[in-house]
Structure 1
Amino acid sequence: MEFLKTYLDYMVLGTLGLMSFIMLAFAVERYVYFWRVRLAHFPHIELLKVALTRNLTAISSIGSNAPYVGLLGTVLGILVTFHEMGQGGKIDVNTIMLGLAMALKATAAGLFVAIPAILFYNGLLRKVDVLTSRWAAMQDGHA
Protein backbone atom coordinates (compact mmCIF):
# COMPACT_ATOMS: atom_id res chain seq x y z
CA MET A 1 0.00 0.00 0.00
CA GLU A 2 2.95 2.32 0.66
CA PHE A 3 4.09 1.81 -2.93
CA LEU A 4 0.71 2.99 -4.22
CA LYS A 5 0.67 5.93 -1.86
CA THR A 6 4.13 7.03 -2.98
CA TYR A 7 3.98 6.38 -6.72
CA LEU A 8 0.31 6.47 -7.75
CA ASP A 9 0.38 10.03 -9.06
CA TYR A 10 3.58 9.39 -11.00
CA MET A 11 2.19 6.23 -12.55
CA VAL A 12 -1.19 7.63 -13.57
CA LEU A 13 -0.07 11.09 -14.63
CA GLY A 14 3.00 9.62 -16.34
CA THR A 15 0.85 7.19 -18.30
CA LEU A 16 -1.56 9.97 -19.28
CA GLY A 17 1.36 12.20 -20.23
CA LEU A 18 2.78 9.48 -22.47
CA MET A 19 -0.64 8.91 -24.03
CA SER A 20 -0.98 12.64 -24.65
CA PHE A 21 2.48 12.85 -26.25
CA ILE A 22 1.74 9.90 -28.55
CA MET A 23 -1.63 11.33 -29.52
CA LEU A 24 -0.17 14.74 -30.34
CA ALA A 25 2.71 13.23 -32.31
CA PHE A 26 0.35 11.09 -34.40
CA ALA A 27 -2.07 13.98 -34.94
CA VAL A 28 0.67 16.32 -36.14
CA GLU A 29 2.11 13.57 -38.36
CA ARG A 30 -1.30 12.98 -39.94
CA TYR A 31 -1.93 16.69 -40.58
CA VAL A 32 1.49 17.03 -42.24
CA TYR A 33 0.86 13.89 -44.29
CA PHE A 34 -2.57 15.13 -45.42
CA TRP A 35 -1.03 18.43 -46.45
CA ARG A 36 1.63 16.67 -48.56
CA VAL A 37 -0.27 13.67 -49.93
CA ARG A 38 -0.48 13.36 -53.73
CA LEU A 39 -3.79 11.72 -54.51
CA ALA A 40 -2.78 10.92 -58.09
CA HIS A 41 -0.15 8.46 -56.82
CA PHE A 42 -2.81 6.05 -55.57
CA PRO A 43 -4.19 3.69 -58.22
CA HIS A 44 -6.98 2.31 -55.99
CA ILE A 45 -9.19 3.95 -53.38
CA GLU A 46 -8.57 1.20 -50.81
CA LEU A 47 -4.82 1.85 -50.96
CA LEU A 48 -5.55 5.53 -50.42
CA LYS A 49 -7.77 4.78 -47.42
CA VAL A 50 -5.09 2.58 -45.86
CA ALA A 51 -2.52 5.36 -46.23
CA LEU A 52 -4.85 8.08 -44.95
CA THR A 53 -6.12 6.24 -41.89
CA ARG A 54 -2.70 5.15 -40.59
CA ASN A 55 -2.33 6.03 -36.86
CA LEU A 56 -5.97 7.10 -36.51
CA THR A 57 -6.74 3.96 -34.49
CA ALA A 58 -4.10 4.92 -31.94
CA ILE A 59 -5.54 8.44 -31.59
CA SER A 60 -9.04 7.02 -31.18
CA SER A 61 -7.87 4.42 -28.65
CA ILE A 62 -6.14 7.08 -26.57
CA GLY A 63 -9.28 9.22 -26.63
CA SER A 64 -11.40 6.26 -25.59
CA ASN A 65 -9.12 4.92 -22.86
CA ALA A 66 -7.62 8.02 -21.21
CA PRO A 67 -10.73 8.53 -19.02
CA TYR A 68 -10.41 4.93 -17.82
CA VAL A 69 -6.76 5.43 -16.88
CA GLY A 70 -7.82 8.54 -14.95
CA LEU A 71 -10.68 6.65 -13.32
CA LEU A 72 -8.31 3.86 -12.29
CA GLY A 73 -6.08 6.48 -10.66
CA THR A 74 -9.08 7.92 -8.84
CA VAL A 75 -10.26 4.54 -7.58
CA LEU A 76 -6.77 3.63 -6.38
CA GLY A 77 -6.38 7.06 -4.74
CA ILE A 78 -9.66 6.60 -2.88
CA LEU A 79 -8.55 3.09 -1.89
CA VAL A 80 -5.32 4.50 -0.43
CA THR A 81 -7.27 7.23 1.41
CA PHE A 82 -9.67 4.73 2.95
CA HIS A 83 -6.83 2.39 3.86
CA GLU A 84 -5.04 5.20 5.69
CA MET A 85 -8.27 6.11 7.49
CA GLY A 86 -8.62 2.51 8.63
CA GLN A 87 -5.03 2.31 9.81
CA GLY A 88 -5.03 5.57 11.74
CA GLY A 89 -8.06 4.90 13.86
CA LYS A 90 -9.14 8.55 13.72
CA ILE A 91 -11.32 10.18 11.13
CA ASP A 92 -10.13 13.66 10.23
CA VAL A 93 -12.43 15.32 7.70
CA ASN A 94 -9.65 17.53 6.31
CA THR A 95 -7.42 14.53 5.62
CA ILE A 96 -10.27 12.66 3.94
CA MET A 97 -11.19 15.61 1.72
CA LEU A 98 -7.57 16.21 0.76
CA GLY A 99 -7.13 12.54 -0.16
CA LEU A 100 -10.32 12.51 -2.24
CA ALA A 101 -9.43 15.76 -3.99
CA MET A 102 -6.00 14.41 -4.88
CA ALA A 103 -7.61 11.22 -6.19
CA LEU A 104 -10.06 13.12 -8.40
CA LYS A 105 -7.27 14.94 -10.20
CA ALA A 106 -6.53 11.68 -12.02
CA THR A 107 -10.02 11.69 -13.56
CA ALA A 108 -9.61 15.32 -14.57
CA ALA A 109 -6.26 14.52 -16.18
CA GLY A 110 -7.80 11.62 -18.07
CA LEU A 111 -10.49 13.88 -19.48
CA PHE A 112 -7.87 16.51 -20.28
CA VAL A 113 -6.15 13.95 -22.52
CA ALA A 114 -9.31 12.36 -23.96
CA ILE A 115 -11.18 15.45 -25.13
CA PRO A 116 -8.48 16.79 -27.48
CA ALA A 117 -7.77 13.24 -28.73
CA ILE A 118 -11.39 12.78 -29.79
CA LEU A 119 -11.45 16.26 -31.36
CA PHE A 120 -8.29 15.48 -33.34
CA TYR A 121 -9.65 12.07 -34.35
CA ASN A 122 -12.92 13.51 -35.63
CA GLY A 123 -11.15 16.31 -37.51
CA LEU A 124 -8.72 13.88 -39.10
CA LEU A 125 -11.52 11.49 -40.04
CA ARG A 126 -13.32 14.34 -41.77
CA LYS A 127 -10.12 15.14 -43.70
CA VAL A 128 -9.90 11.48 -44.77
CA ASP A 129 -13.45 11.74 -46.15
CA VAL A 130 -12.60 14.94 -48.03
CA LEU A 131 -9.43 13.48 -49.54
CA THR A 132 -11.12 10.25 -50.62
CA SER A 133 -13.92 12.27 -52.23
CA ARG A 134 -11.34 14.37 -54.09
CA TRP A 135 -9.65 11.18 -55.27
CA ALA A 136 -12.98 9.82 -56.54
CA ALA A 137 -13.68 13.11 -58.34
CA MET A 138 -10.23 12.92 -59.99
CA GLN A 139 -11.00 9.42 -61.22
CA ASP A 140 -14.21 10.68 -62.82
CA GLY A 141 -12.30 13.52 -64.47
CA HIS A 142 -13.97 16.27 -62.40
CA ALA A 143 -10.98 17.51 -60.45
Structure 2
Amino acid sequence: MQEVNMLEYAEQALDYGVMGILILMSIVTLWLFIERMMFYKTIKTQEYKYRDNLELDLTDNIGVISAIGSNAPYVGLLGTVIGIMITFYSMGDAGAVDAKQIMVGLALALKATAMGLVVAIPAIVTYTIALRKVERILTKFDVEQEAKVA
Protein backbone atom coordinates (compact mmCIF):
# COMPACT_ATOMS: atom_id res chain seq x y z
CA MET A 1 0.00 0.00 0.00
CA GLN A 2 2.80 2.41 0.87
CA GLU A 3 4.60 1.64 -2.42
CA VAL A 4 1.48 2.66 -4.35
CA ASN A 5 1.37 5.95 -2.44
CA MET A 6 5.05 6.58 -3.21
CA LEU A 7 4.40 5.87 -6.89
CA GLU A 8 1.45 8.26 -6.92
CA TYR A 9 3.55 10.85 -5.12
CA ALA A 10 6.32 10.50 -7.72
CA GLU A 11 3.81 10.88 -10.56
CA GLN A 12 2.35 14.00 -8.93
CA ALA A 13 5.84 15.39 -8.37
CA LEU A 14 6.53 14.90 -12.06
CA ASP A 15 3.30 16.56 -13.14
CA TYR A 16 3.27 19.42 -10.68
CA GLY A 17 7.01 19.83 -10.11
CA VAL A 18 8.59 19.56 -13.52
CA MET A 19 5.59 20.87 -15.43
CA GLY A 20 5.17 23.68 -12.90
CA ILE A 21 8.80 24.70 -13.31
CA LEU A 22 8.42 24.70 -17.10
CA ILE A 23 5.23 26.77 -16.93
CA LEU A 24 6.96 29.22 -14.58
CA MET A 25 9.90 29.44 -17.01
CA SER A 26 7.57 30.24 -19.90
CA ILE A 27 5.75 32.92 -17.88
CA VAL A 28 9.05 34.54 -16.86
CA THR A 29 10.23 34.48 -20.48
CA LEU A 30 7.05 36.12 -21.72
CA TRP A 31 7.10 38.73 -18.94
CA LEU A 32 10.76 39.65 -19.53
CA PHE A 33 10.27 39.81 -23.30
CA ILE A 34 7.29 42.15 -22.98
CA GLU A 35 9.16 44.29 -20.45
CA ARG A 36 12.20 44.55 -22.72
CA MET A 37 10.11 45.44 -25.81
CA MET A 38 8.31 48.17 -23.87
CA PHE A 39 11.65 49.50 -22.62
CA TYR A 40 13.14 49.51 -26.13
CA LYS A 41 10.23 51.59 -27.41
CA THR A 42 10.80 54.25 -24.75
CA ILE A 43 14.61 54.40 -24.82
CA LYS A 44 16.13 57.76 -25.66
CA THR A 45 19.69 57.25 -26.86
CA GLN A 46 20.36 61.00 -26.63
CA GLU A 47 20.28 60.70 -22.84
CA TYR A 48 23.34 58.43 -22.85
CA LYS A 49 26.84 59.79 -23.01
CA TYR A 50 28.63 56.43 -23.16
CA ARG A 51 27.80 53.43 -25.32
CA ASP A 52 28.62 50.99 -22.51
CA ASN A 53 25.98 52.48 -20.20
CA LEU A 54 23.40 52.23 -22.98
CA GLU A 55 24.39 48.64 -23.69
CA LEU A 56 24.12 47.71 -20.00
CA ASP A 57 20.59 49.09 -19.85
CA LEU A 58 19.58 47.45 -23.12
CA THR A 59 20.84 43.98 -22.23
CA ASP A 60 19.36 43.96 -18.74
CA ASN A 61 17.47 40.65 -18.17
CA ILE A 62 17.91 39.19 -21.66
CA GLY A 63 20.48 36.79 -20.25
CA VAL A 64 17.68 35.26 -18.17
CA ILE A 65 15.67 34.62 -21.34
CA SER A 66 18.72 32.92 -22.86
CA ALA A 67 19.26 30.81 -19.74
CA ILE A 68 15.64 29.68 -19.79
CA GLY A 69 15.89 28.81 -23.49
CA SER A 70 19.01 26.75 -22.95
CA ASN A 71 17.88 24.97 -19.79
CA ALA A 72 14.20 24.23 -20.47
CA PRO A 73 15.03 21.12 -22.55
CA TYR A 74 17.08 19.76 -19.65
CA VAL A 75 14.24 20.31 -17.21
CA GLY A 76 11.97 18.46 -19.66
CA LEU A 77 14.53 15.70 -19.98
CA LEU A 78 14.67 15.38 -16.21
CA GLY A 79 10.90 14.93 -16.22
CA THR A 80 11.19 12.27 -18.90
CA VAL A 81 13.83 10.34 -16.99
CA ILE A 82 11.71 10.47 -13.83
CA GLY A 83 8.65 9.34 -15.82
CA ILE A 84 10.54 6.41 -17.33
CA MET A 85 11.86 5.43 -13.91
CA ILE A 86 8.31 5.48 -12.53
CA THR A 87 7.13 3.33 -15.46
CA PHE A 88 9.88 0.75 -14.93
CA TYR A 89 9.32 0.75 -11.19
CA SER A 90 5.59 0.15 -11.59
CA MET A 91 6.31 -2.66 -14.10
CA GLY A 92 8.73 -4.30 -11.70
CA ASP A 93 6.35 -3.86 -8.82
CA ALA A 94 3.51 -5.50 -10.76
CA GLY A 95 5.75 -8.44 -11.67
CA ALA A 96 4.28 -8.66 -15.15
CA VAL A 97 4.94 -6.93 -18.43
CA ASP A 98 1.88 -5.17 -19.75
CA ALA A 99 2.54 -3.50 -23.11
CA LYS A 100 -0.32 -1.04 -22.62
CA GLN A 101 1.02 0.05 -19.23
CA ILE A 102 4.52 0.52 -20.70
CA MET A 103 3.29 2.56 -23.66
CA VAL A 104 1.06 4.80 -21.54
CA GLY A 105 3.86 5.34 -19.01
CA LEU A 106 6.41 6.20 -21.68
CA ALA A 107 4.00 8.50 -23.51
CA LEU A 108 3.31 10.39 -20.28
CA ALA A 109 7.03 10.58 -19.59
CA LEU A 110 7.74 12.05 -23.01
CA LYS A 111 5.27 14.87 -22.44
CA ALA A 112 7.88 16.46 -20.18
CA THR A 113 10.42 16.56 -23.02
CA ALA A 114 7.81 18.00 -25.36
CA MET A 115 6.91 20.66 -22.80
CA GLY A 116 10.59 21.50 -22.35
CA LEU A 117 10.90 22.11 -26.08
CA VAL A 118 7.66 24.10 -26.14
CA VAL A 119 9.22 26.41 -23.54
CA ALA A 120 12.74 26.50 -25.03
CA ILE A 121 11.94 27.29 -28.66
CA PRO A 122 9.93 30.48 -28.00
CA ALA A 123 12.49 31.55 -25.38
CA ILE A 124 15.32 31.32 -27.89
CA VAL A 125 13.22 33.14 -30.51
CA THR A 126 12.39 35.95 -28.06
CA TYR A 127 16.05 36.15 -27.01
CA THR A 128 17.11 36.49 -30.65
CA ILE A 129 14.51 39.20 -31.28
CA ALA A 130 15.62 41.12 -28.19
CA LEU A 131 19.28 40.80 -29.14
CA ARG A 132 18.55 42.12 -32.63
CA LYS A 133 16.70 45.10 -31.14
CA VAL A 134 19.72 45.81 -28.92
CA GLU A 135 22.03 45.73 -31.96
CA ARG A 136 19.75 48.12 -33.87
CA ILE A 137 19.55 50.62 -30.99
CA LEU A 138 23.33 50.49 -30.44
CA THR A 139 23.93 51.07 -34.15
CA LYS A 140 21.61 54.09 -34.07
CA PHE A 141 23.52 55.36 -31.05
CA ASP A 142 26.84 54.94 -32.91
CA VAL A 143 25.48 56.82 -35.93
CA GLU A 144 24.25 59.64 -33.69
CA GLN A 145 27.67 59.85 -32.00
CA GLU A 146 29.48 59.98 -35.36
CA ALA A 147 27.12 62.73 -36.52
CA LYS A 148 27.97 64.78 -33.41
CA VAL A 149 31.71 64.43 -34.10
CA ALA A 150 31.43 65.29 -37.80
Name the TM tier (shorter chain). Answer: over 0.9
Q: Which residue of 2 aligns with 1:113?
A: 119
**Structure 1 position 67 matched with structure 2 position 100:** no
Q: How many residues align?
A: 142
Q: Which residue of 2 aligns with 1:103?
A: 109
**Structure 1 position 34 matched with structure 2 position 40:** yes
Q: Give the secondary-structure state (helix, strand or coil) at the position aligned to 2:97.
A: coil
Alpha-carbon displacement from aligned partner over 1:58-86 (angstroms, at most 9, x marks no partner): 00000000000000000000000000001
The TM-score, its normalising length taken from structure 2, stands at: 0.92
Aligned counterparts of 2:32 and 2:113: Cα–Cα separation in 1: 23
Alpha-carbon displacement from aligned partner over 1:63-112 (angstroms, at most 9, x marks no partner): 00000000000000000000000110011000000000000000000000
Which consecutive unaligned segments of at least 5 residues does structure 2 have? 1-5
Q: Give the secondary-structure state (helix, strand or coil) at the position aligned to 2:147.
A: coil
Letter in 1 for 2:79: G
The ranges of structure 1 where at least 4 consecutive aligned residues each deviate by more than 4 angstroms after the TM superposition are none
Letter in 2 for 1:96: I
**Structure 1 position 54 matched with structure 2 position 60:** yes
Q: Give the secondary-structure state (helix, strand or coil) at the position aligned to 1:140.
A: helix
**Structure 1 position 5 matched with structure 2 position 16:** no
Which consecutive unaligned segments of at least 5 residues does structure 1 have? none
Aligned counterparts of 1:5 and 1:109: Cα–Cα separation in 2: 16
- Could you tell me how far 1:4 is from its partner in structure 2? 1.1
- Could you tell me how far 1:7 is from its partner in structure 2? 2.3
Aligned counterparts of 1:114 and 1:24: Cα–Cα separation in 2: 12
Q: Give the secondary-structure state (helix, strand or coil) at the position aligned to 2:63.
A: helix
Q: Which residue of 2 aligns with 1:90?
A: 96
Residue identity (%): 46
**Structure 1 position 17 matched with structure 2 position 23:** yes
**Structure 1 position 79 matched with structure 2 position 85:** yes
Cα RMSD of the aligned pairs, angstroms, is 0.9
Aligned counterparts of 1:57 and 1:124: Cα–Cα separation in 2: 10
Aligned counterparts of 1:87 and 1:81: Cα–Cα separation in 2: 10
Aligned counterparts of 1:103 and 1:9: Cα–Cα separation in 2: 10
Aligned counterparts of 2:11 and 2:124: Cα–Cα separation in 1: 31
